[in-house]
Amino acid sequence: GASELTSVDYYEKTLYRADMATQWYVGYDDTNFYVAMRTAIPEGVDLVADTKNKKDNDRDHSVLFGDHIELQMSPHGPIKATSVGYGFYKIMANPFDVFSDTWWHCDEPGQETFWSSGAVVRSRRSKREWTLEMSVPFGNMLSKGRKGFIKDPNGMSFIVQLVRAGTCGGFGYGGI
């Protein structure tokens, strides 16, 4: 079964339910990490995406510049998550199933975008709701002879951050 998490926003030391409240569901099995998300869309609000197909997803037309979710995972703990050679894996996806995957702080600076998660993303949109399901194979984070990859998957654990955002400019609708 999956665990449900509900996002909240934080402002001036106060927690409150996000305007576009987001429910997250996470789970895993022997081969994949699973994330599902449901977010409310208030009346009069439209989802925005700078790119609606994978071939146009580049520096000028990125998933980052519109409604998207972010999944960040690190098997190395919070300190090494920002250390070169270890880092964290980041997958962003928009309501049109366009996604980008990056290994931040990898052991070969400049090669961050060459990592491929192998993720599968599916979204559904309506006037009042956006839902998304994603599966991420653990195998693409396993040993490939580089110190940042997981050497032994037995007993592994991840720190995970989930974000639902409206743009790269800090529009947050709730993260975990």
Identify the weakest region by mean pLDDT among 152-156, 161-165, 172-176: 172-176
Cα 89 from Cα 161, distance rounded (Å): 10
In this structure, how many other beta carbons lie within 10 angstroms of the beta carbon of residue 116? 10
Statement: residue 59 has pLDDT above 80: no
Cα 62–Cα 69–Cα 22 angle in degrees, nearest 5: 150
What's the pTM value of the predicted model, to 2 decimals? Answer: 0.80
Task: Considering only CA atoms, give the Rg of the chain.
Answer: 16
**Percent of the chain whose pLDDT exceeds 90:** 16
Q: According to the model, what pLDDT value does residue 29 have? A: 87
- pLDDT, tens only, 93-151: 999 999 888 888 777 777 777 778 889 999 999 999 999 999 998 877 764 544 445 55
Statement: residue 170 has pLDDT above 80: no
* Residue whose tokens read 């990859």: 149
